[in-house]
Amino acid sequence: MSQLHIFDSHQGSLQPFRPVQEGHVGLYVCGPTVYSNVHLGNVRTFLSFDLVFRYLQYQGYKVRYVRNITDAGHLVDDADEGEDKVGARAKVEKLEPMEIVQRYTVDFHNVMRAFNTLPPSIEPTATGHIVEQIAMTQQLIANGWAYEANGSVYFDVETYSQTHPYGELSGRNIDEMRSGTRDLDGQSDKRSPLDFALWKKASDAHIMRWASPWGDGFPGWHLECSAMSTKYLGETFDIHGGGMDLKFPHHECEIAQNKGATGCGGANVWMHANMLTLNGKRMSKSTGNTLLPGELLSGDSPHLTKGYSASVARFFIHQAHYRSVLDFSDEALQAAEKGYQRLTHALQTLEKRVGGGPAKGTFDVDAWQERCLDAMNNDFNSPILIAHLFDAVKAIQADQNDNSHLGQEGAAALLGHMRAWMFEVLGLHPESANSTGSGSSQKALDAAMHIVLDARRKAREQKDWATSDAIRDQLAAGGIQVKDGPDGSTYSIQE
Amino acid sequence: MSQLHIFDSHQGSLQPFRPVQEGHVGLYVCGPTVYSNVHLGNVRTFLSFDLVFRYLQYQGYKVRYVRNITDAGHLVDDADEGEDKVGARAKVEKLEPMEIVQRYTVDFHNVMRAFNTLPPSIEPTATGHIVEQIAMTQQLIANGWAYEANGSVYFDVETYSQTHPYGELSGRNIDEMRSGTRDLDGQSDKRSPLDFALWKKASDAHIMRWASPWGDGFPGWHLECSAMSTKYLGETFDIHGGGMDLKFPHHECEIAQNKGATGCGGANVWMHANMLTLNGKRMSKSTGNTLLPGELLSGDSPHLTKGYSASVARFFIHQAHYRSVLDFSDEALQAAEKGYQRLTHALQTLEKRVGGGPAKGTFDVDAWQERCLDAMNNDFNSPILIAHLFDAVKAIQADQNDNSHLGQEGAAALLGHMRAWMFEVLGLHPESANSTGSGSSQKALDAAMHIVLDARRKAREQKDWATSDAIRDQLAAGGIQVKDGPDGSTYSIQE
């Protein structure tokens, strides 16, 4: 069997995955900043790492997946000169910042649940780790990589970069960065415009504030991830992930903080999920070329003709590799929906297959499963995995006419593998694959449809085509599709 | 209109409610300790305060509802001598304590969502407020109400009780408490067995620990609520709630901490929700006389003949006043389910009522609404409110035969009030009231049932009673009940 390889953004190449501790994986992913609703680009990033989390578990690893909640707010621009976003919003809405945090944390969890992502193992908050962030800042000062100025503490990038390759992750060099910054003209306490805040002095108007050895203040945005990944995963851990937009400055600063405080760079492997576009263009609120997670599910958007189930959305997203740009469009989603239905119908056919044929079929399930594993072991290549699933669909269809294609044992083995790939790894929702209803309403619908299909059968036996057609039309208007087979008619609801 | 009165556990009497800040309410409720699954008694407590939160909002108050998550673990027994519960479980399961915290926090949120409770405005964690707890401990030492001993800090109950009525909330006096404790026999750093920990020194084996002025340690259990209620609601706020089992020592200690640190006692009004029994006996895991929230919904319990919807469970719980003991039994739940169905069917009848009759009916809706408000203004007396709702059910039924009972305006006004009481205040779920399905499956069922009821109508017109009865029986087997009215037949699904 092939070995898992992951594309390491730091080295810029595919690397064999060797965990720090045999059988265990420490995975850290930068979570949402909870001062506004999560956008679809975030959803893609979290679905990408949900796939990673799920596949590592499928491989038998015990995974500690830490995904933080940035609730302390961070500064508006990368130059660290702006106002605290959470604080600014609080004043406008006359709310306590933690009320905003709560509202958007609840919203984020609702979206994550709607998309059937697994909760991380630990979901630490920035405000929940002030003690740890102060301790790391003290360590950085003690080690000579940071300085206090007027109640704030800054990381000394100029000094650090003399001995460390600051900019290596994002492929920048220090001279270019220097030429891209403005002069400080006495407006800042920083020694160099490249320096970044570890701890910021709180102005009188700043609501979120904590006591520190440097007076009342709040942590810099980059610090929380270094402090929390070190606390829960150790000074050297396996994988750090996030959206590509976080490479610089956020992840670059994280590496500097980790190396400066502990001597270790944190993660062995860096993974970055690529961006989303909509109809070929960058998403942007100002131009209206934007799509929210809720709009995708409800269809309440000028860019969509209808809503799509979360499973269809997941299927669509995993049809692209996480490192590729993914373009959302109504046409592409419709195509994904058709593909998803073909896949789930094939699974249903396989589930209903009554034993028959030889023990082993002509379709080599073991070799097929190896190809599926090879795809995922090649940097979690879900589009190739899905292509292999469609090879299985063809085999299932062929087997309907000639049960020597799968055979008894082959069919059973394929069913187990298909279910695991679809539900455990790709995170598709078993319920939406089988029917839209559940419980008492499904039971009621089955009872009603039993009567309806019986009436239709009788009409057809009496060659009363008018009644038979009228029933079919009325059902179609209600979104029910009837299929006539050798053993009678079955129905399905169009999602 | 009557004014809201609340039973204040501290004064032991009904008191008119006067908020600190006009139009605003600060409400603090002790949340779950997330080292195990939430039990049904907790659910009742949180549903009781969900009702309070909802009714205050219905009354037009802007409510800041703070409900904490106790994730730092607390000591096993009230004497503070035991092992940290979260830490103990972590060693058994070989887990990081915050992994346990995450698992049970997710479970708690799932249960709360299943029971249709509103998320609180802020949901702060104990581990997220270490800085604030250390600061409050320092303040208590500075004010002379606490002392450090061997790396731990204790509240000095003996000194405090000389000038403050320690025990007043729970109706105890200091001499009785003293006689109920063992001697310390040199095993403890406490000066008196009545003292309680504000900060505990962490042994080498203790996982959850933070740096403090007294060395590595962790906060005492009682401290977090004082620190967080003060931070988010102020030194004097409106209402503090919790389960009755928290009166002593937890809430008694909270008052002492608040008074000692700020000079104010925290909440103006203390509310305590009463306990649950099962089949007349105290719930207990060891005797098997226990029922979990999930079992109540699924029916997977030896104590139940079936599962009950969350709305039926809520309806049942709110049929008792929050200060009364509530006994769960299958019979009582079945009765509640019937009552709930009568209520929702009456609402459906009212929704479908076509304009008719005089403008005003003989049923005085305004006076009825006043009675509903009087009930809730009398210490949130939901059972009386529900009795009034059934008065409205009778009026709706009478109006079906003679539309002068409600009249056109009366029916419209009653519909608005009924919906608000049922969905906004009692938190029943609109969906489960109207049907069990939704979206595409409801549309499909409607289409199928249109055909079925049409076929049944034709059979009855042709006096083909065999077919008509067969259809009715088949539908009944699927949980569908058909009702024949003057304008045709309607159907409903039995939950």
Cβ contacts of A135 on chain B, cutoff 8 Å: 211
For residue A324, what are its two tokens?
């590729």
| C-alpha span between B201 and B151 (Å, rounded) | 5
- Closest Cα of chain A to B393: distance in Å? 26
For B373-390, what is the HEC assignment? HHHHHECCCHHHHHHHHH
Q: 0.90 cut: is pTM over it?
A: no
Chain B: residue whose CA lies nearest to A211: B131
In degrees, rounded to 5, the angle at the alpha carbon of residue B211 between the alpha carbons of residues B205 and B216 is 35
Query: Do A445 and B447 make contact, defined as CB atoms within 8 angstroms?
Result: no
Does one domain contain both A374 and A264? no
Query: Do B444 and A128 make contact, defined as CB atoms within 8 angstroms?
Result: no
Does one domain contain both B294 and B409? yes
- Closest Cα of chain A to B370: distance in Å? 33
In a domain, B2, yes or no: no
Cβ contacts of B232 on chain A, cutoff 8 Å: 96, 98
In a domain, A2, yes or no: no
Asked if residues A191 and A147 have their Cβ atoms less than 8 Å apart, the reply is yes
Does one domain contain both B179 and B310? no
Q: Is A64 on the interface with B (CB under 8 A)?
A: yes
Residue B347 or A439, more confident: B347
Does one domain contain both A390 and A286? yes
A213-226 residues labelled b (16+ CB within 10 A) or e (exposed): ebeebbbbbbbbbb
In degrees, rounded to 5, the angle at the alpha carbon of residue B344 between the alpha carbons of residues B341 and B345 is 80
Q: Is B37 on the interface with A (CB under 8 A)?
A: no
Chain A: residue whose CA lies nearest to B471: A451
User: Which residue, among A63, A64, A131, A298, would best test binding to B if mutated, counting the most B CBs under 10 Å from its CB?
Assistant: A131
Find the CATH number of the domain harbouring A151.
3.40.50.620
- Closest Cα of chain B to A186: distance in Å? 33
User: Which residue, among A298, A441, A446, A456, would best test binding to B if mutated, counting the most B CBs under 10 Å from its CB?
Assistant: A441
Burial class (CB in 10 A: 0-12, 13-18, 19+), A266: buried
Residue A35 DSSP SS3: coil
Phi, psi of A49 (to 5 degrees): -80, -20
Classify strands A266-273 and B266-273 as parallel, antiparallel or unpaired: unpaired
**Taking Cα atoms as reference points, which of B218, B52, B193 lies closest to residue B120?**
B52
Contacts of A333 (CB under 8 A, 6+ apart): A304, A308, A312, A313, A316
Does one domain contain both A430 and A414? yes
Q: Is B98 on the interface with A (CB under 8 A)?
A: yes
pLDDT score at A415 = 96
Q: Mind listing the pLDDT tens digit of every residue in chain A (495 residues)?
A: 699 999 999 999 999 999 998 899 999 999 999 988 898 999 999 999 999 999 999 999 999 999 999 998 644 433 344 455 555 543 333 468 899 999 999 999 999 999 999 999 999 999 999 999 999 999 999 999 999 999 999 999 999 999 999 999 999 988 888 887 766 666 689 999 999 999 999 988 788 899 999 999 999 999 999 999 999 999 999 999 999 999 999 999 999 999 999 999 999 999 999 999 999 998 888 888 999 999 999 899 999 999 999 999 999 999 999 999 999 999 999 999 999 999 999 999 999 887 788 988 999 999 999 999 999 999 999 999 999 999 999 999 999 999 999 999 999 999 999 999 999 999 998 755 433 334 566 677 878 888 888 888 888 888 888 888 888 888 887 778 777 766 667 777 765
Number of neighbouring beta carbons within 10 Å of residue A139:
15
Q: Is A398 on the interface with B (CB under 8 A)?
A: no
Burial class (CB in 10 A: 0-12, 13-18, 19+), A178: middle
Does one domain contain both A215 and A313? no
Chain B: residue whose CA lies nearest to A453: B448
Does one domain contain both B410 and B457? no
- Closest Cα of chain B to A184: distance in Å? 33
Query: Which tens digit of pLDDT belongs to each residue from B260-283?
Result: 999 999 999 999 999 999 999 988
Chain A: residue whose CA lies nearest to B228: A98
Q: Is A457 on the interface with B (CB under 8 A)?
A: no
Asked if residues B8 and B269 have their Cβ atoms less than 8 Å apart, the reply is yes
Q: Is A57 on the interface with B (CB under 8 A)?
A: no
- Give DSSP secondary structure letters for A301-363: STT-SS---HHHHHHHHHTS-TTS-EEE-HHHHHHHHHHHHHHHHHHHHHHH--S-S-SS-SS
**Taking Cα atoms as reference points, which of B403, B437, B416 lies closest to residue B347?**
B416
In a domain, A12, yes or no: no
**Taking Cα atoms as reference points, which of A72, A71, A66 lies closest to residue A232?**
A66
- Please give the single-letter amino acid code of residue A148: E
Residue A112 or B489, more confident: A112
Does one domain contain both B192 and B336? no
Asked if residues A72 and A127 have their Cβ atoms less than 8 Å apart, the reply is yes
pLDDT score at A494 = 65
In a domain, A8, yes or no: no
Residue B76 or B440, more confident: B440
Residue A121 DSSP SS3: coil
Cβ contacts of B124 on chain A, cutoff 8 Å: 98
Cβ contacts of B120 on chain A, cutoff 8 Å: 102
In a domain, A7, yes or no: no
Which helix (H) or strand (E) segment holds residue A269: the answer is: strand A266-273
Q: Please name the member of B102, B125, B493 whose beta carbon is closest to the beta carbon of A440.
A: B493
B488 phi-psi bin (left φ>0, alpha ψ -120 to 50, beta other): left
Cβ contacts of A64 on chain B, cutoff 8 Å: 96, 99
Does one domain contain both A426 and A398? yes
Last residue of a domain, one of B247, B273, B299: B273
Q: Is B121 on the interface with A (CB under 8 A)?
A: yes
Cβ contacts of A455 on chain B, cutoff 8 Å: 451, 455
Does one domain contain both A421 and A469? no
Using only C-alpha atoms, what is the Rg of chain A?
27
Domain of residue A485, residue span: 439-493
User: Which residue, among B440, B443, B453, B491, would best test binding to A if mutated, counting the most A CBs under 10 Å from its CB?
Assistant: B440
pLDDT score at A469 = 84
- Please give the single-letter amino acid code of residue B92: V
Chain A: residue whose CA lies nearest to B232: A96
Query: Do B131 and A211 make contact, defined as CB atoms within 8 angstroms?
Result: yes
Last residue of a domain, one of B227, B251, B273: B273
Q: Is A484 on the interface with B (CB under 8 A)?
A: no
Query: Do B447 and A96 make contact, defined as CB atoms within 8 angstroms?
Result: no
Cβ contacts of A452 on chain B, cutoff 8 Å: 448, 451-452
For A130-133, which contacts have Cβ atoms below 8 Å and span 24 or more sequence positions? A130/A210, A130/A219, A130/B130, A130/B131, A131/B130, A131/B131, A131/B210, A131/B211, A132/A227, A132/A228, A132/A231, A133/A198, A133/A199, A133/A219, A133/A223, A133/A224, A133/A227
Query: Do B493 and A127 make contact, defined as CB atoms within 8 angstroms?
Result: no
Cβ contacts of B119 on chain A, cutoff 8 Å: 102, 106
pLDDT score at B284 = 81
Asked if residues A335 and A308 have their Cβ atoms less than 8 Å apart, the reply is no
Query: Do A120 and B102 make contact, defined as CB atoms within 8 angstroms?
Result: yes
Query: Do B96 and A474 make contact, defined as CB atoms within 8 angstroms?
Result: no
DSSP class of A75: B
Last residue of a domain, one of A251, A273, A295: A273
B341 phi-psi bin (left φ>0, alpha ψ -120 to 50, beta other): alpha
pLDDT score at B460 = 83
Residue B377 clears pLDDT 90, i.e. is over it: yes
- Can you name the residues that pair with B201 across neighbouring β-strands? B217
pLDDT band at B449, cuts 50/70/90? confident
In a domain, A298, yes or no: yes
Does one domain contain both A244 and A203? yes
Query: Do B119 and A106 make contact, defined as CB atoms within 8 angstroms?
Result: yes
Helices A97-114 and A85-93: angle between axes, nearest 10 degrees: 110
**Taking Cα atoms as reference points, which of B110, B8, B118 lies closest to residue B55?**
B118
Cβ contacts of B98 on chain A, cutoff 8 Å: 122, 124, 232
Query: Do B474 and A120 make contact, defined as CB atoms within 8 angstroms?
Result: no
Does one domain contain both B462 and B420? no
In a domain, B137, yes or no: yes
| C-alpha span between A21 and B392 (Å, rounded) | 67
Q: Is B467 on the interface with A (CB under 8 A)?
A: no
Residue B183 clears pLDDT 70, i.e. is over it: no
In a domain, A10, yes or no: no
pLDDT score at B440 = 60
Q: Is B68 on the interface with A (CB under 8 A)?
A: no
Query: Do A102 and B119 make contact, defined as CB atoms within 8 angstroms?
Result: yes
Q: Is A118 on the interface with B (CB under 8 A)?
A: no
Q: Please name the member of A123, A211, A448 whose beta carbon is closest to the beta carbon of B480.
A: A448
Q: How many domains in chain B?
A: 3
Partner A, chain B 204-263, Cβ-Cβ below 8 Å: 210-211, 232
Q: Please name the member of A135, A435, A450 whose beta carbon is closest to the beta carbon of B211.
A: A135
Residue B59 CA, distance from chain mean position: 19
Q: Is A443 on the interface with B (CB under 8 A)?
A: yes
Mean pLDDT for all residues in chain B: 89
Query: Do B451 and A452 make contact, defined as CB atoms within 8 angstroms?
Result: yes
- Closest Cα of chain B to A444: distance in Å? 5
- Report the pLDDT averaged over residues B1-11: 94
Query: Do B478 and A435 make contact, defined as CB atoms within 8 angstroms?
Result: no
Query: Do B441 and A124 make contact, defined as CB atoms within 8 angstroms?
Result: no
Query: Do A436 and B436 make contact, defined as CB atoms within 8 angstroms?
Result: no
DSSP class of A292: -
pLDDT score at A158 = 95
Query: Do B451 and A447 make contact, defined as CB atoms within 8 angstroms?
Result: no
